[in-house]
Structure 1
């Protein structure tokens, strides 16, 4: 199978396969991509941890306005640096094979900038700002947009979105799964 297969035993590959939405071949390819980000660091050290700056050089993250948040959410140490297993989790969640419910769970975590398990006005403003050039919005326009989002999605009228409300909105969005993906 080549050099990549020597990195993992058959049991390890089976474990990764059980824990992700990937085949063994895709897991080996994910490791190859991880290693390409910093071959001098990863080399034969399977426990290498890549800094967020290296991860953000991935073409799929380079132009993503949420790249830092993605790295922070998937980092097991919550500092944005990722081990191969963190990277594999990230790539698995963003894969075409991951169910919409799993994608929604991680999207919610990415958009929850303050980490309070709700998408409040500040989280919504940060999300909108990252999606739309902020110079196109004045404060009043931003407030109107946030109010409309909450009017549509805030089912219990508490001024913020709980995960269930967010998931309800996502369930109505046929394009969500297609926009929340990274292809290996």
Structure 2
């Protein structure tokens, strides 16, 4: 197990494993001290919103295809809410609402540009990024 995941802030974070994977310079997901410093830099209040958005996008892109597709969005939702609190139909409704609002080119997925557009409209993204990620 990645030692950094033993820190309480990451062990209880629904994206702890994804954070380590995105910031890790190794294939196995283990974070070096330099990786840890990069992570702290991105999560700091001083980091530009675009840098935070790029990393959030990568954390949410579970399959690594540079798009947030239906399966990625489903995994994000399931990590944010207890799976027992939403039915599959409710999760699908949330995904459809997200895509209706944010999928500007109607391709069934969010590109980074579309994700960034939503982030720009969200006044509380940076504080949510620090708290959730």
Q: What residue number does 1:122 align with?
A: 71
Distance in 1, Cα, partners of 2:6 & 2:121: 33
CA shift digits 1:96-144 (9 cap, x unpaired): 1101110000000000000000000000000000001111111111111
Q: What residue number does 1:9 align with?
A: none
Q: TM-score, normalised by structure 2?
A: 0.94
Aligned-pair CA distance for 1:87 = 0.7
Q: Among residues 25, 48, 73, which one is paired with 1:76 in the alignment?
A: 25
Runs of 4+ residues deviating >6 angstroms: none
Distance in 1, Cα, partners of 2:23 & 2:114: 23
Superposed counterparts of 1:71-150, under 5 Å: 71-150=20-99
Higher relative contact order (CA 8 A, sep 6+): 2
Distance in 2, Cα, partners of 1:60 & 1:99: 22
Aligned-pair CA distance for 1:174 = 1.1
Aligned-pair CA distance for 1:181 = 2.0
Distance in 1, Cα, partners of 2:88 & 2:30: 34
Distance in 1, Cα, partners of 2:27 & 2:61: 14
Distance in 2, Cα, partners of 1:97 & 1:59: 23
Q: Which has the larger radius of gyration?
A: 1
Distance in 2, Cα, partners of 1:78 & 1:87: 15
Q: TM-score, normalised by structure 1?
A: 0.69
Q: What residue number does 2:124 align with?
A: 175
Aligned-pair CA distance for 1:179 = 1.7
